[in-house]
Amino acid sequence: MSKSNKNKLDISIYFILRGLVILTLITQIIQNNYENAFLCILTLGLFMIPVLINHKLNIKLPSVLETIIFLFIFSAEILGEIQNFYGIFKNWDTILHTINGFLCAAIGFSLVDILNNAQAFQSKMSPLFVALVAFCFSMTIGVLWEFVEYSIDTVLLKDMQKDRIVSRVSSVYLNKEKKNQPIVIDNIEKTIIQYKNSDGNKDSYIIEGGYLDIGLKDSMKDLYVNFIGALIYSTIGFLYIKNRDNYKFAKLFLLVNNSEKRIE
């Protein structure tokens, strides 16, 4: 595929996604669902980030990376939140967090590689150090996002850290002798949650098959898959610096400083 055809395809994908977001926005406003309408406006704003990076920072995003970012944003906000793909497809959140780890590692790697190749920068960093920085950058973004999810769940009660049914626990809290020895309980059959409803009357939920874990396992799973995505790209980036000709695949995800000539 020629470069011009690739550009046409990228532009087409961008306008198709943008059109779908606008259509969703109109639909949500008609349905008086203003929270989802806000998500649509947020998505349109996020779509502008690559353009701002290019014009304000003079950094060019490769077409493949730019397209994946657009698809990622659309998949997370429109499909995931509004169309409830997080609930419909069990591994939707896992897939997105893995991709996020990969993309953030690519961006972190790019920033260091741009500095490493800058003509004005005298010191050259080793491939292992660049890969390590990229990995740490990706994991930091992943941790910060979990902070965001936890904060939103705590303040706005949105349950972004999805709950899970757990049938086995190991807890010191359950030790009747108050010793620092965990008590292991297997095959939990059910949990009964008793509470007062808005009318002040007692009500209850019965959770079959275990107890309700409130987000811990979801957060740790997200960080694990972010780790996998970050490790994959950091390894690819390391090999790319060692031999740029044999690992050109990595260039599909590297930002380029338009004001500097890349040293190959």
Residue 188 pLDDT exceeds 50: yes
- Tell the residue number behind the tokens 């309700």, with chain if given: 212
Nearest residue to 72 (alpha-carbon basis) of 88, 41, 55, 95? 95
- The rounded distance, in Å, linking the Cα atoms of 100 and 68 is 10
7/26: higher pLDDT: 26
CB 80 within 8 A of CB 40: no
Q: pLDDT digit string (tens) for 195-254? A: 888 888 889 989 898 888 888 889 999 999 999 999 999 999 898 888 877 777 787 888
Phi, psi of 164 (to 5 degrees): -135, 150
Q: pLDDT digit string (tens) for 127-141? A: 899 899 999 999 999
Q: pLDDT digit string (tens) for 29-44? A: 999 999 999 999 999 9
Dihedral Cα 68, 234, 2, 246, nearest 10 deg = -160
- Global confidence as pTM: 0.83
Predicted confidence at residue 149, as pLDDT, reads 92
Q: 263 pLDDT band (50/70/90 cuts)?
A: very low
Residue 144 pLDDT exceeds 80: yes
Ranges 99-103, 110-114, 178-182: which has the least confidence: 110-114
Average pLDDT score, the chain: 86
Quick one: average pLDDT of 102-124?
76
Predicted confidence at residue 258, as pLDDT, reads 62
Predicted confidence at residue 44, as pLDDT, reads 95
159/257: higher pLDDT: 159
Residue 156 pLDDT exceeds 60: yes
Predicted confidence at residue 123, as pLDDT, reads 56
Buried b or exposed e, range 218-237, using 16+ CB within 10 angstroms? bbeebbebbbebbbebbebb
Quick one: average pLDDT of 37-54?
90
Question: In Å, how far from its chain's centre is CA 6?
Answer: 26
